[in-house]
Chains A and B, each alone.
Chain A
Amino acid sequence: MHADGEKFDAIVVGAGPAGTTAALTMAKEGMRVALLERGEYPGAKNVFGGVLYRWPLEEIVPKFWETAPLERQIVDQRFMVMSKDSGLLMSFKVDGKGKAPYNGYTAIRAKFDRWYASRAEEAGVMLATSIAVDDVIEENGKVVGIRAGQGAENELYADVVIGADGVNSSVAVKANLRSAPNPDEVAIGVKEVIELPAETIEARFNLRKGEGARMETIGCTHGKMGGGFVYTNSNSLSVGVVILLSHLMELQMKPYQLLDEFKSHSMIEPLIAGGKAKEYSAHLIPEAGYSRLPRMYGNGVMIAGDAAYLCSYPEGTNLAMASGMMVGKVALHAKKSNDFSAKSLSIYQKMLDESYVMKEMKRKSSSHKQLIQNQRLFGVYPDLVGELLADMLHIDSEPKSLKHKRAIKKFRQKVGVLRAIRDAYSVRGMAP
């Protein structure tokens, strides 16, 4: 970096889905963009347990599925309710008929993010890796650049700075758009990548060649808000557990203890048996919800993706890319009038509000609060489901009518009909 007066039109901090999308959107229209990544390569610091959806990536890189390093196309979506020694598994599959494009794909982020950032480089973006931005430079109440260490040689200037530096964003905090997260605003995810032959994965998950499954599980977090997941990659499984940090503090457990328990559960152990662990990772996931979203812009600055808490289980990369695209478009608009003031950038908020991103965040808003506060949802219900089904499906000399009576009594004792209806209604926003 030089302090010799060289100035970019835009600096994007973070070469993940949000940042690379923003950089690409601007560079395609001729803006001079620097994309700064703190890792040795894009994806080096990123962790993912999820699905890359076709929208909005398709709008940015048409037919991306022909060239992007993707793992498996998701055809089977599974949801499991777990208790300590039982599991109720639902699976929904749409026959993809082996024809691209699919709605979503699994990906290895260290590969995908690198590929995606090189699309930005092709469009003229200057990508610089191993640069950890720790502060913004402000002049007369306007963000005019960034600092990546001490001294003038570590300063870089631009008309606009875009913070796409993830959940632990320095840009968002230093530009006073939000504070650092509280323990009830983020979840911690711990994950292992476990290697298995492709054929083994396909046999264990009932998949055709190249097809993939995702599995989301509740009931594996000691009654606290969170869950487990298994995602199928080409030659590996991504297996992990997520839990709200404030709830982990209440449990006083280590996150990898939850992962160990999940991996040894009778529903999971056979899926990963014989596999070879290849990587252990951890990351924070924004769980602030709609009511605690930060300010999205200021004078000379905007934020997108996880940095802006735009993440809503089980969606994240799609919201990051969509917000990154909007940030890019707003910057292009601001460039035309050469006005990067907060007033000029405020159209970003309007665009967000009218988009899928904010509508989805808003829809889940009240359910999200319930999930944090209502401890029945992740403990009492999963345990009850296991207990009642085990009793019903256990055949012996006892008449079924007695078992039914006992089940109803148990249900009334532990939850109650009205409360169950209220609970179900309170989380209606979590419906797919």
Chain B
Amino acid sequence: MKLEERLFLDRFNVHEENHLIVDTSKCTECSLKPCTFVCPVDDYNWDKGKLIISYEGCLECGACEVVCPFDKIRVTSPPAGKGVNFRFG
């Protein structure tokens, strides 16, 4: 199953502001770039020497924050019930 199809299954109440606070100053020094593969929805992509971050499909698991070798990712909680709302969970 494609990731896009998977994300289409979930209910999101998208917040206008990105709740993933990322300081990209160390990304070029980071050889492994674990955020680009541990994220279960591919919210982090390395493209032409830059980290492209999307947040709309974020499942709020927090893995990106845990794996960042430079401790530069903060996953804050989307306010007021925004973000993903699991109907099964």
* Closest A residue to B78 using CB positions: A132
CB distance from B89 to the nearest CB of A (A): 4
**A277 at the A/B interface (Cβ < 8 Å)?**
yes
Residues of B within 8 A of A (CB): 1, 3, 5-7, 9-10, 13, 32, 34, 37-42, 59-63, 65-67, 75-81, 83-89
Known contacts A281-B59, A281-B88: A134-B76 contact under CB 8 Å: yes
Contact of B6 among A47, A109, A129, A256 (CB under 8 A): A256
Number of residue pairs across A and B with beta carbons under 8 Å?
135
Task: Please report the C-alpha to C-alpha distance between residue A236 and residue B89 in the assembled complex, in whole angstroms.
Answer: 12
**Residues of B close to A38: CB separation below 8 A:** 77, 81
Task: Please report the C-alpha to C-alpha distance between residue A132 and residue B17 in the assembled complex, in whole angstroms.
Answer: 15
Q: What are 15 sample pairs from A and B whose C-beta atoms fall under 8 A apart?
A: A38-B81, A41-B85, A180-B66, A245-B67, A248-B37, A248-B38, A249-B67, A279-B87, A279-B88, A280-B7, A281-B84, A281-B88, A282-B40, A282-B59, A284-B66
**Residues of A close to B34: CB separation below 8 A:** 249, 252
**Residues of B close to A283: CB separation below 8 A:** 59, 61
B89 lies within 8 A of A43 (CB): yes
**Residues of A close to B39: CB separation below 8 A:** 254
A284 lies within 8 A of B61 (CB): yes
Known contacts A249-B34, A256-B3: A168-B86 contact under CB 8 Å: no
Q: Is the interface of B mostly helix, strand, loop or mixed?
A: loop
List the 3 closest A-B pairs by CB distance, nearest first: A130-B81, A132-B77, A40-B81
* Closest A residue to B6 using CB positions: A280
B37 lies within 8 A of A110 (CB): no
- How many residues in A have their beta carbons less than 8 Å from beta carbons of B? 52
**Residues of A close to B79: CB separation below 8 A:** 130, 132, 149
Contact of A277 among B6, B60, B67, B78 (CB under 8 A): B6
CB distance from B74 to the nearest CB of A (A): 10
B40 lies within 8 A of A110 (CB): no
Task: Please report the C-alpha to C-alpha distance between residue A190 and residue B63 in the assembled complex, in whole angstroms.
Answer: 11
**Residues of B close to A39: CB separation below 8 A:** 81, 85
Task: Please report the C-alpha to C-alpha distance between residue A168 and residue B61 in the assembled complex, in whole angstroms.
Answer: 8
* Closest B residue to A132 using CB positions: B77
B76 lies within 8 A of A192 (CB): no
CB distance from A230 to the nearest CB of B (A): 15
**A167 at the A/B interface (Cβ < 8 Å)?**
yes
A134 lies within 8 A of B85 (CB): no
A188 lies within 8 A of B63 (CB): yes
**A207 at the A/B interface (Cβ < 8 Å)?**
no
**A183 at the A/B interface (Cβ < 8 Å)?**
yes
Known contacts A38-B81, A110-B87: A279-B13 contact under CB 8 Å: no
B13 lies within 8 A of A186 (CB): no
A45 lies within 8 A of B60 (CB): yes
Task: Please report the C-alpha to C-alpha distance between residue A280 and residue B60 in the assembled complex, in whole angstroms.
Answer: 12
Task: Please report the C-alpha to C-alpha distance between residue A43 and residue B83 in the assembled complex, in whole angstroms.
Answer: 13
Known contacts A38-B77, A280-B9: A193-B88 contact under CB 8 Å: yes
Task: Please report the C-alpha to C-alpha distance between residue A136 and residue B60 in the assembled complex, in whole angstroms.
Answer: 21
**A269 at the A/B interface (Cβ < 8 Å)?**
no
B10 lies within 8 A of A281 (CB): yes
**Residues of A close to B10: CB separation below 8 A:** 279-281
**Residues of B close to A183: CB separation below 8 A:** 66-67
A44 lies within 8 A of B81 (CB): yes
